[in-house]
């Protein structure tokens, strides 16, 4: 049975704010789209192999996956993966 990935509004909004000096706005949007697709592919797999559980700090006890240096924090409830936070590359917790 596959999982449904749910991006919370706060995470969706944050991803739209990502900017890179190296890319045009169109290239940046394409890059973020690829990050989202890769993240969903990994999280839909019932045998997730690249996740961690935070032991300290704000996200203690919450699972984390890293995709292209983006950190996504999520919880699995039944057959849904709820993405509750995202950190950009280089952004501190």
Residue 29 lies in a domain: yes
Assess if residue 93 is contained within a domain. no
pLDDT at 78: 85
Residues 32-85: tens digit of each pLDDT: 999 999 999 989 887 765 678 888 889 899 999 999 999 999 998 888 999 999
Residue 43 located in a structural domain: yes
**Domain count for the chain:** 1
Residue 45 is predicted with a pLDDT of 80
Provide the residue range defining the domain that includes 11.
4-87
Contacts of 38 (CB under 8 A, 6+ apart): 67, 68
Predicted pLDDT of residue 1: 62
């Amino acid at each position: 049975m596959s999982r449904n990935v749910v991006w919370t509004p706060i995470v969706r909004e944050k991803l739209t704010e990502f900017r890179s000096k190296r890319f045009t706005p169109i290239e940046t949007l394409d890059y973020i789209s690829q990050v989202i697709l890769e993240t969903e592919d990994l999280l839909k797999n019932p045998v997730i192999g690249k996740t961690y559980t935070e032991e300290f700090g704000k996200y203690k006890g919450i699972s984390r996956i890293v995709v292209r240096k983006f950190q996504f924090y999520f919880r699995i409830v039944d057959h849904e993966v709820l993405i509750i936070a995202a950190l950009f590359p280089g952004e501190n917790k």
